[in-house]
Structure 1
Amino acid sequence: MKKFLAVLLTGAAVAGVLGGCAGKGGADDKVIKVAASATPHAEILEQAKPALEEKGYQLEVTIFDDYVQPNEVVESGDFDANYFQHIPYLDSFNAEKGTHLVNAGGIHYEPFGIYPGTKSSLGDVAEGDSIAVPNDTTNEARALLLLQDNGLITLKDGAGLEATVNDIVENTYNLEIVELEAAQVPRVVDEVAFVVLNGNYALEAGYSVAKDALAYESSDSEAAKTYVNVIAVKEGSEGADKIKALVEVLKSDAIKSYITENYDGAVIPFA
């Protein structure tokens, strides 16, 4: 999921969105109102409309530019679901705001990858090489787990998604892990052997995730399972027929193919 920047919608836009949601019951049972981020979430939802129409549902997608209101409008019942966030953010939001939102289905994840710096193959790693990683807690842990998955380091048991460089117990090549603010990592590609980036920073740096990543998080990795972007609904609504239909379509082979063909590996369908 994209970095959480709270960019508020204008008052007029908010009024238009919320004002258009009045009235429930009856025909609304066949209307699915979803709040979403523009990319890739709303784009993926647009692809789901024809299949949902075949099932008798009308999908209405409203784009939000912040990461607070999509949860608030689902909590209030003005929207049926949202699609923009991963589970750790959902859990944090519930704890902080006292909301009652739950995961109705995981749809995609945006993988971390190892990219070339001064070296173009992990097979060329040598004693004392340096690797740049993001320094914030969540992203650093994902980077270190990816390095471990590719045999470059070993972390202590149980470090998981809270791992830091202090949890490295084996470092065969005596690699120097260079910790930088995430946005700075792409800027040191000429100074380190490899860099570890999440999808959006890789794209901004001009990397093709599919073509340039030397390795990236697999769909069955701990990070992918944890940071999968989900359809979130108010607790108790996850069993509703229209929510089941929405998730079923979004997890269909047709939508998986769309994601695979259009996002250059920066977005990957969740198994």
Structure 2
Amino acid sequence: MKNIIKSLGILLLLSILAACGKNGSANDDVVIIGVTGADGEQWDVLKELAREEGITIELKEFADYTLPNNALANGDIDLNSFQHIAFLSQFAKENNVDIVPIGSTVIAPLGIYSDKLDDISGLKEGDKIAVPDDPSNLGRALRLLETAGLIKLKEGTGLFVDTTSIEENPKNLEIIPMVAQQTPRVLQDVAASLINNGIAGQAGFNPLEDPIFLEDGDSESALPYVNVFAARAEDAQNETYLKIIELYQSEQVKKAIEQETKGGSILLNIPQDQLIDTFEQLKGEE
């Protein structure tokens, strides 16, 4: 009997050691993060840093911007990291889901790209311009066109404007909203296209050097476009999730982001209460 008990004890010990060898710890926390692009070098760096803290990060990739928020709200994933505050606030409001920003990642300035023009001044009467069609990025794109002096929006319009909010369009530009992922693919068919930074990088562009006009990512007006980690509201103070956010702010991750985006994305460390305040303000906008 003693030999049997001893053998069982050895088998149990070997099982524990095998689990440790596979995951780094017998008690690893597994956190599933939804993303729309899992090939960034920063994720490999973050995974390694988290593993050293006993946290296993698994990435779940989605092809559409709405899917990671639905998956988060439904409990299929633990966090997501793909969107800015403006997009999240609009989604939460329209879909009545209780998900909130709990940590900042980067800001990626929006750019105007063209394979026909070297300067924004080269746009001609009636030229076509492609813009992303989701409410937050459409408003952002129209405000960038206004900053570039191409259109003027109606006074008093909020953040979530659309083409009906255009008051002046001196060159009668044809502004064509479309799914954000399509904006780089139509460059041959339009004079210019407003392409989100991450999508531009995936399409092979240098987000700092290739745009013919670039958003100022350092301005206060850019705060709604800071990208975030989002969680269910009940998990806003989850210690494991907050540890992942802390690790994301490390120098190792910062260097990986700079290398991956060629300096096109800027790592920001904004307090959670400020992120949530901005989120709530945007949710309250009509």
Identify the TM-score tier after normalising by the shorter chain.
Answer: 0.5 to 0.7
Q: Deviations over 1:133-171 (max 9, x none)?
A: 327252432221111223333322332433233433444
CA displacement at 1:44 relative to structure 2: 3.0
Pairs within 5 Å for 1:122-161:
122=120, 124-125=121-122, 128=125, 130-134=127-131, 136=133, 138=135, 139-161=137-159
TM-superposed deviation, 1:188: 4.8
Q: TM-score, normalised by structure 2?
A: 0.64
SS in 1 for 2:235: coil
**1:181 equivalenced with 2:178 (yes/no):** yes
- 2:74 maps to 72
Q: What secondary structure sits across from 1:39 in the alignment?
A: coil
- Encode CA deviations 1:159-189: one digit per residue, 9 max, x unaligned: 2433233433444x53523325342674354
Whole-angstrom distance in 1 between the partners of 2:253 and 2:159? 29
* CA distance in 2: counterparts of 1:195 and 1:98, whole angstroms: 32
User: CA shift at 1:260, angstroms?
Assistant: 1.8
Pick one of 75, 81, 84 that aligns with 1:83.
81
1:105 positional shift: 0.9
Greater radius of gyration (CA): 2
Which secondary structure does the structure 1 equivalent of 2:75 belong to? helix
Preserved CA contact (<8 Å) 2:128 2:190: no
**Number of residues of Structure 1 aligned to a counterpart in Structure 2:** 236
Q: SS of the residue aligned with 1:178?
A: strand
User: Using a 3 Å threshold, how does the CA distance of structure 1 residues 227 and 120 change in structure 2: closer, same or farther?
Assistant: same
2:246 match: 248
- Separation in structure 2 between the aligned mates of residue 249 and residue 83 of structure 1, nearest angstrom: 14
Residue 191 of structure 1, CA deviation: 5.2
Using a 3 Å threshold, how does the CA distance of structure 1 residues 57 and 38 change in structure 2: closer, same or farther? farther
Residue from 57, 60, 64 that aligns with 1:60: 57
Select between 219-228 and 234-243 the one with higher mean Cα deviation.
219-228
Q: Contact between 1:117 and 1:191, CA under 8 Å: does it hold in 2?
A: no
Q: CA deviation at 1:45?
A: 3.4
In structure 1, distance between residues paired with 2:140 and 2:58: 31
Distance in 1 (CA, whole Å) between partners of 2:160 and 2:57 is: 38
Displacement of 1:115 after TM fit? 1.2
Unaligned stretches of 5+ residues in structure 2: 1-25, 270-286
Instruction: Look up the equivalent residue of 1:63 and give its one-letter code.
Output: K
Go from structure 1 to structure 2 and tell me whether the alpha carbon gap of 1:184 and 1:42 turns closer, same or farther (over 3 Å shift).
closer
SS of equivalent to 1:218: coil
Contact persistence 1:145–1:160 (CA under 8 A): no
- Bigger drift between 210-219 and 223-232 goes to 223-232
What residue number does 2:217 align with?
Answer: 219
Query: Are 1:269 and 2:271 counterparts?
Result: no
Structure 1 Cα separation of the partners of residues 268 and 252 of structure 2 = 13
Letter in 2 for 1:176: L
Alignment correspondent of 1:196: 194
Work out the CA distance in 1 between the residues paired with 2:85 and 2:265.
Answer: 16
- TM-fit CA distance, 1:33: 1.2
> CA 1:159–1:220 in 2, change beyond 3 Å: closer, same or farther?
farther
Shift in Å, 1:255:
1.7
Counterpart contact for 1:148–1:154, Cα < 8 Å: yes
2:167 aligned with 1:165, yes or no? no
Please show how residues 224-239 of structure 1 align to structure 2 within 5 Å: 224-239=222-237
SS at match of 1:225: helix
